[in-house]
Amino acid sequence: MDTKEYISSGILESYILGTASEQERREVECISSIYPEIRKELDALSVSLEQYAQASAVEPPARVRDKIFAQIDSLEKSETKREAKVFTMERTQAPNRQFNYWLAAASVTLLIVSSVLFYQLSDKNSQLISTNQQVEQLQKEKSQSEAALEVMNRQMAMLNNPDNKKVMMKGTEAHPGMLASVLWNTQNHEVYLSVSNLPQPPADKQYQLWAIVDGKPVDMGVFDISADSSLYKKMGATQTAQAFAVTLEKKGGSPVPTLTAMYVMGQI
């Protein structure tokens, strides 16, 4: 902001003389609190007007001073009086027996009524709690469905991507009926695996995916069988491949595939 331009705009004079509009006043107060040079200018203007006012100063009569301080003193006194006011507790007359009887009857009635109300309230409360639980459950289900839909959408996008080459891997002689597939992206070379049918392996073993590149097997990673194995999941990457295969290996995988334990394979 150009403070010089602001200073010479005349708005400060208008402010000091009290002719500025409400909006202008707020603006000057805000801007002068941000820019010290504007505040300085504002104070300098105020000082010259103060001196101008002093030039026509007139000593008021001494009685005005006395009256002001007398009024302020009495104001203060009335304030302290209000603060010091003490409320005394007065002993009331002892109530008669008949009044006590009615008081007891009223208390019992009140107790009964409040018990009923309490029961009703706690009943409503438990209804409210179970409704809240239902709402929570529904919300949980809804977010789960949304998440599942999101996953499916991503799978669809992968399948529809023209850069992804789909390779079906069918069961070998020893394991007929087994089925899995690979999506291989020919641009970024990433490999995705989906398992349609493979048996759950023993606890000490894991399946391993291989890419066959120029006749040599290249490790594409190990995987487990789970409920969502049919979804394409990212494995390794390879620039070229002629085939893909899955073998069953010891847990953690093997540097070379055990060809006798090959379950599925597919050529590109």
Partner 1 sequence: MSRKTNIPEDELVTLLMSRDKDAFRILYDNYSSTLYGIVLKIVGSAEVAEDVLQESFVKIWKNISSYDKTKGRLFTWLLNITRNTAIDKLRAKHEKYQIQSIDDSVYQVDKQSSATMKVDHIGVKQSVQQLKPEHRIIIDMAYYGGYTQEEISEELKIPLGTVKTRMRNAIIELRKIF
Interacting residues toward partner 1 by CB under 8 A: 10, 13-14, 16-19, 29, 33, 42-61, 63-65, 67-69, 71-72, 75
CB of 78 to partner 1, least distance (A): 12
Nearer to partner 1, 41 or 219 (CB): 41
- 52: tokens are 């101008």
Nearer to partner 1, 45 or 168 (CB): 45
Q: Are 207 and 250 in contact (CB under 8 A)?
A: no
CB of 6 to partner 1, least distance (A): 13
Q: How far is residue 121's CA from residue 118's CA, in Å, rounded to a whole number?
A: 5
Nearer to partner 1, 41 or 249 (CB): 41
Per DSSP, 259 falls in state G
CB of 51 to partner 1, least distance (A): 4
Q: How far is residue 205's CA from residue 252's CA, in Å, rounded to a whole number?
A: 8
* Of residues 104, 254, 244, the one with CA closest to residue 184: 244
End-to-end CA distance of the chain: 69
Nearer to partner 1, 66 or 224 (CB): 66
CB of 7 to partner 1, least distance (A): 11
CB of 86 to partner 1, least distance (A): 24
Nearer to partner 1, 70 or 138 (CB): 70
Nearer to partner 1, 75 or 108 (CB): 75
The helix/strand/coil state of 99 is helix
Give the list of residues 6+ apart from residue 206 with CB closer than 8 angstroms, or none.
222, 223, 224, 248, 249, 250, 251, 252, 253
Q: Are 231 and 155 in contact (CB under 8 A)?
A: yes
CB of 1 to partner 1, least distance (A): 19
